[in-house]
Amino acid sequence: MIDTLLQTIEKAVPIDQTEKELIARLFREKKYKKGEYFLKEAEVCRQVGFMISGIMRYYINNDGEEKTYGFAKEFDFVCNNESFIPQNPSIQIIQALEDCKLLVISYTDLQTFYTALKNGERYGRLVLEQVFVQTLQGLNSFYTDSPELRYEKFVKEYPDLLQRIPQYYIASFVGVKPQSLSRIRKRNTRSD
Amino acid sequence: MIDTLLQTIEKAVPIDQTEKELIARLFREKKYKKGEYFLKEAEVCRQVGFMISGIMRYYINNDGEEKTYGFAKEFDFVCNNESFIPQNPSIQIIQALEDCKLLVISYTDLQTFYTALKNGERYGRLVLEQVFVQTLQGLNSFYTDSPELRYEKFVKEYPDLLQRIPQYYIASFVGVKPQSLSRIRKRNTRSD
């Protein structure tokens, strides 16, 4: 499992053998069964996860109505930065939609990762930049795009998730009721 | 002017004399007259600014209706990261609400800052973390808080801007028409 993570890091910055061994010690394997929570509402997010398998869903519970912000799948980092960075209670919830295998690192161990690796800070900055842009694009899309466009973007961004995620969650991500999603899907198929 | 920037950086990471001279070479002074644009719509954001004086406003133009996302004042960094990081055209507009003095660094010179300073990457990561959290909190507030709460937050976050910014822009930030802002202000004063 650790090799997948090391390869992902090495795509961005070089790491030597001693550093690889350190990374292997800083991360630990963790499993979440389908339905279990990576992060609950009002909890402080104390870990960053690297997804080996499975799917996690990010959502908020708005007086009983769920809004789905996005999904994490294989080789994605999973974390609620708004809670993790300042170590404040989370509004967002992160839940396993399938059985998931992850490598997780604690807040304290991540600080060690940043300072002990030659390129630790650089890797942190690069990942943060990427996540920052993705998060902003996701939020902007959530509030300004039409449901049709959001469905189109979902299909493009997560093609393999279409078959893996219940319709209910895709509708919640698109921002419509499940029956409206069926209409969007039909229109979308016709126009292909 | 450069001393203010150096002091701001030194609050987060140590920098030696040679590094200070490098920073002084990487940043250059730039002035914006009231009404001028730091970043226009559809332009790529090619610089990060450090505000020495004045106020900048972040907003989008939504079919003629402006939505104000926030303000930058003295000692703030000013940048649209969603455009700057991937070097993509911007949706957001950044405009001077007063005559502004800034120190600006180009995208390329910022990469030098990151790599040439001992703590360049660390400083980049720390600023990005701070800006990320602020941006997320700002966006969430924009879409979930009531106008009353947004006005309260504006007063708390930008107490000195109340007298400096035309009511029109405060109303646009709060998300109401200027006449509704007057009502909120009166209620707010009564409950103090």
A124 at B interface, C-beta within 8 A:
yes
Q: What tokens appear for A116 in the block? A: 């002990």
- Show contacts of B63-68: CB within 8 Å, 24+ apart: B66/B172, B67/B142, B67/B172, B67/B175, B68/B169, B68/B172, B68/B173
Q: What is the pLDDT of residues B48-103, one digit of tens each?
A: 999 999 999 999 998 888 889 899 999 999 999 999 999 999 999 999 999 999 99
Contact B148, B187 (CB under 8 A): yes
Nearest residue on chain A to B119, alpha-carbon basis: A121
Residue B168: pLDDT above 70? yes
Residue among A119, A128, A143 whose CB faces B132 most closely: A128
B63 at interface of A, judged by CB pairs closer than 8 A: no
pLDDT tens across B99-133, in order? 999 999 999 999 999 999 999 999 999 999 999 99
- Name which of A80, A83, A118, A132 to mutate to probe chain B: the one with the most chain B Cβ atoms within 10 A of its Cβ: A132
Q: Are B6 and B40 in contact (CB under 8 A)?
A: no
Note whether B128 contacts A: Cβ–Cβ < 8 A.
yes
Position B150 pLDDT exceeds 70: yes
Residue B190, pLDDT score:
63
User: Between A85, A119, A121, which is nearest B132 by CB?
Assistant: A85
Q: Considering the entire predicted model, what is its pTM? A: 0.92
Which one, of B112, B108, B129, B128, lies nearest residue B120 by Cα? B112
Q: What digits encode the pLDDT tens for the residues A56-115?
A: 999 999 888 888 999 999 999 999 999 999 999 999 999 999 999 999 999 999 999 999
Burial of A107 (0-12, 13-18, 19+ CB in 10 A): middle
In SS3 terms, A62-74 reads as ECCEEEEEEEECC
**What's the pLDDT score for residue A140?**
81
Q: Say what the ipTM of the complex is.
A: 0.91
Backbone phi, then psi, for B102, in 5-degree steps?
A: -135, 160
**Quick check: A162 and A148 in contact, CB under 8 A?**
no
Q: What is the pLDDT of residues A130-166, one digit of tens each?
A: 999 999 888 888 778 899 999 999 999 888 898 899 9
